[in-house]
Amino acid sequence: MAGLISSAVGRRATMFVGTFVGGRLSDRVSRKAALIPGLLVQGFGVALPAIEPSVSTWLAAIVVMSLASFAVSVAATVLGDITDPSRVGTQLGRFRFVGDLGLIAGPLVVTGLFEGLGRVVAFLFVAGVLTTAALLSWRFLPETGRTEE
């Protein structure tokens, strides 16, 4: 039990560090400058267990994904930046709804992939989704959040 608590605290501490760094980058450079690397690093973290799994691989994956977890907050901030102020609540509600659907459907899809095609395919599928999101964001999202013009 103590190990579980200390690992949860460590994960939260790592998320805090990542959120601080990602937030500073988002505010000082641009939202895209934070979002795209965040998604790519999350994809890398998810892909790590596709190699031969070990305790160190799993720990590295958790640390990497936790450090890059700020990408979701930055994505919500981009949405707020590009949305008419009178519609921000509605758009953030939709954003959250779609994200929650992903949290429900994602494990079902990945479980099916894991059972049917194996561990490597399951992890690389999720990494591919994150990488695709990064590439689409790079291509289609406007630059927002620059503090210096």
Q: Where are the domains of the chain?
A: 2-140
- Name the band, by pLDDT with cuts 50, 70 and 90, for residue 9: confident
What is the Cα 122 distance to its own chain's centre?
A: 17
Q: Which CATH number fits domain 2-140: 3.60.20.10, 3.90.1150.10, 1.20.1250.20, 1.20.5.440?
A: 1.20.1250.20
- At residue 2, the 3 state secondary structure works out as helix
Q: Which of 84, 79, 129, 132 is nearest to 109 (CA)?
A: 129
The model's pLDDT over 86-145, given as tens digits with 9 standing for 90+, comes to 999 999 999 999 999 999 999 999 999 999 999 999 999 999 999 999 999 999 998 887
- Of 129, 94, 98, 122, nearest to 108 by C-alpha is 122
pTM for this predicted structure: 0.86
- Between CA 45 and CA 58 the distance in angstroms is 9
Confidence of residue 1 (pLDDT cuts 50, 70, 90): low
In the block, residue with structure tokens 């790519």: 40
Report residue 143: phi and psi, to 5°.
-70, 130
pLDDT tens by residue, 58-90: 889 999 999 999 999 999 999 999 999 999 999
